[in-house]
Structure 1
Amino acid sequence: MARVGGFIVNRIMIDQGSGAKVKYPNLFRGLGLKSEDLLKYSTPLVGFDGKVVVPEGQISLPMNMGGKKVVVKFIVVASFSSYTAILGRPWIHAMGAVPSTLHVKVKFPTDHGIIVVRGSQRVTRQCLVAIVNWKKEQTYQKE
């Protein structure tokens, strides 16, 4: 959970293998943003389903997690995800963060010491199941 653009955002995935910071349309609309707010971004991305996704654009927004603030350039894509946003290596480096997928937590330094943000194993499992079920539905629809 973090504050993005002044709003509390849940179901954020921290992906050490991703070079992008992705925001999905539900979050984009939920923040009250419009297409006019986007800057051009035309480099294609590969989604969870292995398909190439052409981004709708990018936007820079302030993000606060655990009291530490950074400005994040999000790439907005129209693709299915049970997550509202994905934070990749650029965010990890900007925060000086150390994520642990095993422990479902991330640690990073602040002016007030080391902050530990814990994720939820249950929510992580629910998001994984949602993605697997969605992919199965897509496969059945093709047949």
Structure 2
Amino acid sequence: MRVLVDLGSSANIITKTVFDQLEIASSSIRPTFSPLMGFDGTRVDPLGVIDLSVTAAKRTLKENFILTEIHPSYNLIMGRGWIHRMRGVPSTLYQVMRCLSPNEKEVINLWGDQVAAKECYMLTEVEAKRMSTQQ
């Protein structure tokens, strides 16, 4: 599973593909009428909102996810709200997010995979070029 910890995202995002793989009942989807706006101004109309429990750094948090049919190079995007609730500080340079443990007595590192991050970046670049030639 490829997860992007994104300080630029105000929401947690899950793709329809991942949602289907998790075999979650479609009755758990709640409607939403607020579109997502990308940094490039594109509008995405979500399929709905779901709640999922996310476990990381010895914590389990119940998070809202916006369900979309977009096809990013990542399966999940974890936004600023989750980062704050995790008491996390992400570093893109070192591909790590440092979090305080639930008792706040230790620092837990959540390491990213630099090779996978580069592959995702390259996939994003290829898709952006493909989309620009179609217009």
What's the counterpart of residue 57 of structure 1? Answer: 48
What's the counterpart of residue 136 of structure 1? Answer: 129
Instruction: Say whether the 8 Å CA contact 1:47–1:79 is kept in structure 2.
Output: no
1:67-120 Cα offsets, whole Å, 9 max, x none, are 211111100111110100001111011111111111110011113621101101
Number of aligned residue pairs: 133
CA distance in 1, matches of 2:5, 2:86: 12
Moved over 4 A (4+): none
What is the 5 A alignment of 1:38-117?
A: 38-47=29-38, 50-110=41-101, 111=103, 113-117=106-110
| 2:15 equivalent among 6, 17, 24 | 24
CA distance in 2, matches of 1:22, 1:121: 21
Consecutive unaligned residues of structure 1, counting only runs of 5 or more, are 1-9
Secondary structure of residue in 1 paired with 2:126: helix
* 2:26 is the alignment partner of 1:35: yes
CA distance in 1, matches of 2:8, 2:39: 12
CA distance in 2, matches of 1:115, 1:121: 18
C-alpha displacement of 1:34:
3.9
CA distance in 1, matches of 2:129, 2:7: 26
| 2:112 equivalent among 116, 119, 140 | 119
Q: CA RMSD in A?
A: 1.6
The normalised TM-score by structure 2 is 0.91
C-alpha displacement of 1:41:
1.4
CA distance in 1, matches of 2:10, 2:56: 19
Instruction: Give the AA of the match of 1:86.
Output: I
